[in-house]
Structure 1
Amino acid sequence: MIKSSFLTVHIDPVPSDWMQWLSDILSKRPQEDISSVIQAMDYLIGLDPSIQTVCKLSVQSHAHALIRLGIDCDVDAMTLAAVILYPVYEQGILTDDVLNELMPLSVIHLLKGAVRMNVLESSWSGSAKHCPTSIDLDAMRRMLLSMVNDVRMVVVRLLVQLCVLYHFKILDEHEQMNVASCARYLYAPLANRLGMKPLKWQLEDFAFHVLEPEAYRQISNSVNTRRDARQACLDSTLEAMRGCLHQVVRPIEISGRVKHFYSIYKKMNQKSLRFDQLSDTLAIRVIVEDVEACYAVLSQIQSHFEMLDTEFDDYIAAPKSNGYQSIHAAMRVEGDGVVEVQIRTQAMHHFAERGVASHWLYKEQGSGSFNDKVNWLNQLMDWHAECAHQNNFIQCFQDRVFVFTPQGDVKDLSLGATVLDFAYHIHTEVGHRCRGAKVNGKMVSLSTALNNGDRVQIITAKMAEPSRDWLSAKPAVLVTAQARSKVTQWFRRQDHEALWAQAQVILSRVTPTKLTSSELLQLAKSFGQRDVDALMIALARGEITPTALMRRLEAERAPAQNQDSAQTRPKAMASKSLSHQDPRICVEGLSGMLVHLAQCCYPLPGERIMGRVSRRRGVIVHALNCQRIQASGCDADRDLCVEWEAEAHHIKYLAVIGVEVSLLDTATQSIQAWLSVNQITWSQWHRFEASHTLRIMLHIQSVGQLNECLRKLSACKGVIKAYRWTQGGSD
């Protein structure tokens, strides 16, 4: 989208013949309707020249600077009109009535969307030392993008922010810190994620200048001291490289640059180096037609330059997990140490520069669904550049709502979430004790739906409980499944306590003596219950009658039966240990059944299941697509309908996966590292050297988590494919 490698904010006076000037600079857009830009500029020229914007510039000079900046960024006419009107609209100089008469709906839409983003800056703590956590930052960036339905709103805000930074000296110290902090932590990453690298670099360097002036001054002086020598070194290296490459391949582009200041500063901090110890402040990029040409270029460079073996990465042969591809190498040059070289095809370059690989997933870590949406925005930005005359808007991030706590923290909720949903999102106890709320300082009902940017304060009572009406109220008081589940669980616990008390009364009637824990556990096993708790609940609900309990108790206490139980019990326990603990399966029409999960298919919550009665082990639960079941066919006398209980998703189950690898050691290390970072445990790990495969037994909560795990593991270094393993092979 941005054509120039470096942006400049021009502070020249507005030309006297501004109409001709504007027509001249927009003359390269014959297919685009520029009437909105002309009308906007005509309105600004007519304002009193003494009226100043926040940058202490006249509205005319500020508009002139923004036009030049927008042209450098190659924005469309609608965006340009919104950019130059932004300062006067934000300050209230341009009213809604005048705006509605002056501009088409498309410009009004962009302008109002860009102004809505100010809610984030108003909640930002402007301090050089203030660096929110990565979670807070990601939530704030999500919130910003959720507030817009056209990517150009973000572009408007980014250009305005850069213009403000150019005039930071006219702001007081607190405003300077606030603007620079927002630029570094909020707007620069957004520019980066939208593929606007030159804008991102300038936002970072200007923020660096304000937040850490001494460090900025030192690096600036160090770079300028040797600027001529560095440029001469770069020019001579480029000339030598063009000469040697011309013999074997004709590159599409060979370019070089000195890395920007903030990039140098971060590398110095990361490696604990002084500036004079940095060897790779220069970089060269070679772009060629195809992969074969990439390796031809590498071979030619290796034969003509001294290469650093320790600084070589082939991301074409082994792409990063996010898809990034390029050859990275470093070579020694006379007089300036080391020059970094990147070799890639044009397609790889486009993906690295405009896709999510380059600096979002490549250098930052974000969530998958959010990444997909911004990747979509990147594509649509290109589409807007090609079809700028069409008024097409992007609907994105409309499935979430982002609100503030009284302390200014951002909370991410489902669209339509209510005040009470917010309370439960903060903490379960806050939700249970919630008795009222204020939104933006005003009292509201618990069923009030939240909007982006709302500031919510929850009012609680010390001794309060949730109401059953919350689950059935109209309009809905609870919308999110998470909040409804917490209320349901609270009432279930209350019912559970009442059932326990009822079961204890029944027990006291059945036996005059108090049963020990081991006796209760033995009774539970004999009735096929998971544990003592399940036994007591079944007793209170009448699923186990007092008479049956009494007879079973007498049988357990008989010496002969005790001996028999001692012989059989270890087998039952061993069988149980081979299956999953506490599988949480409901068997239709039956209670108190012993249930095991099949070890041929290892079913998981989230997939369809069926039960088959076993002669010795109760009900064996299989996945509906289990190969063993399909091979044996239907058995009407033994097959049962079963389903997962609601709590099944809170328990971990065994799942066996197979992994095909190219390098066993490399794949093993990368897989173990990924499992450790994502806190996924495993109990068995088998290596098969001959077939280059691994078989791993994981502890998984659902089939959805397993599928996501397989997708991520397939992208690990050294891995060819990860799949679910069953006795029949890959699933």
Structure 2
Amino acid sequence: MGDAIFAPLEQALSEYMEPACIERVAQAYAFAREAHEGQLRVSGEPYITHPVAVAGILADLRLDEKTIIAALLHDVIEDTPTARDQIAAEYGDEVAHLVDGVSKLDQIRFKSKAEQQAANFRKMMMAMVEDVRVILIKLADRLHNMRTLGVMRPDKRRRIARETLEIYTPIAQRLGLNSLRHELEDLGFQAMHPLRYRVLEAAVRKARGNRREVMQKIEDAFNARLAEEGIRAEVQAREKRLYSIYRKMVQKHLPFEEVFDVFAVRIVVENVDTAYRVLGVAHNLYKPLPGRFKDYVAIPKANGYQSLHTVLFGPHGIPLEVQIRTREMHQFAESGIAAHWLYKATGDASSTTQARAREWLRELLEIQRQAGNPQEFLESVKVDLFPDEVYVFTPMGEIMELPRGATPVDFAYAVHTGVGNTCVACKIDRQFAPLSSTLHNGQTVEIITAPGATPNPNWLSFVVTARARTHIRGFLKGMREEEAVQLGRRLLDKALNQFGSELARIPPERLSACVAEYHHASLDELYREVGLGNRLASLVAHWLTAEGEARGGESRNGAHPPLVLSGAEGMVVSFAKCCHPLPGDEVVGFASTGRGIVVHRRQCKNTAELASQPEKWLPVEWAAEVSGEYQAEIGINAKNLRGGLARMAGAIAELSADIDDVRFDDRDHNVTVITFLVRVRDRIHLAHIMRRLKREPGILKVWRT
């Protein structure tokens, strides 16, 4: 055609397309140029340069004639109302459908015009289900927009970059379009965090010099060894991409030097058998890291990606990532579902990538049917695009990657162990929220800490990350052992009282002999075992005192001095869930192996079952002044009145008590049995709450369970 704008596209198409097809593409270009006559992009260039660039990106993926024509015409319908009919008449219904599917899809803006934007997103995804080429055109459209994003305002650049990283790159990944995804990620990173991008780029450039020699050495070593084995293969040593380095730094809290020390080698071979042979060669050349081998050939990823992955100890102990794949696998790894059209002429439409993508698209239809509205559909698809992770932001805008189901406590420990240990509250999107809340993609999480705060054992019931669970357990274990030592010392001192002695009067050598007798490493370890109930204080006291030996009968039958409960005993004194003892109740203690002292109400039915172990019982009593809050259960028979539950909860809150749990047991249509688990100070506080509840309308009976 001799047109300077069209010439590069024509050249790219000539590499794989018949002249007759290129002629039809040229006609579509003329149609689009006329439709966009006089229009300019923000950069000042003629608008036609954009659809031509989009078509060029798709030509690099070797897509078919109709997709290229639809890419050239994808913005025409918005400018000419009758254009759809014209396109259908000129180029057929298939092209018209592709153009219609892509057009009128505004960029997805999060948390603004949510309903409209979600509806647009749903339209795009549904069009993609009918013909996946719609999303290929849209992704190419987004890629060219990202390449020319520099002319936009900074705030608009960040918004578009965030949309790209949140929606478009995951779709590209799901469809196996890795070459396109990688460029979108790097451009998105550059626009979202320009300063971080520049700093990282400079660091990579500075570190690249001496690394180039190492990479060449690795490449030469592989080529030499493969030649010895008579294996034909293409070996390419390469650096990690900037966005990949950045994500690893954020996720693993690593400095740049540790991440950039990871080199990657890709080896492309002729067939699967050779791929496994090359794996053996690689493991002989450099030692593999245990547990780092992944066979995605036998078990492909969700998007159909296939490759053998292994990590080796490279030269100088440098970690070396190796990917081994066949030529066809490499084509699909780079082009994903787009490669389907390259192989279409041969009739091979049964590729793994194609099958996996089609399966996902069928799932989208099911989600669409079940979704109540477009926003619900958008959220469902976003979750599906991130099957294993959620991405949330710190108040400073840094991305944190967590497993699905993660909570603010997981987030706090991901930031820093100290933040997790002193966490007391959180804000999600600037609103206070429970620490047990499940985090979702795109949320901003702020952790509120307090000096002296400690982890709550209840956190273990909802955290999902190994990091959080390990640190909470470690802290509680250390705290519990310290408390067990203190309790054990108190229990032993009281047990010695019955023999007319006390710890202060026991000679140090006698204590050392006792520690040796019980095979403990230290006196504190002996105290801890007593505090945890693993050793009976009365028996240790019996051994320590010569008098105890002579007065064994009295020690068993005499009155033990009671353990006084003040509420500050910590985790080694626990209160039985079966009877929920409160200050003011008559109580008894039971030395439970590994748990310390468990306190029951004297009339608890479980005390009868434990009566066969009298040596483990010990007297306990409440101190005159008791601190803390204790759980109690209140049973209520109530009529089914509108707003009844809210009134009951309000009455409990009115008397400064917290509700930990509510259970329902429907007796019939008129009366419900409700059980509240509440936190109270003592029996008197509980009595006030019960009296207050009895005054509520519709309540027939209130009792302590």
Q: Which range, TM-score by smaller chain?
A: 0.3 to 0.5
In terms of fraction of residues, the more helix-rich structure is 2
Structure number, greater radius of gyration: 2
TM-score by length of 2: 0.44
Q: Which has the higher contact order (CA 8 A, sep 6+)?
A: 1
Length-normalised TM-score, structure 1: 0.43
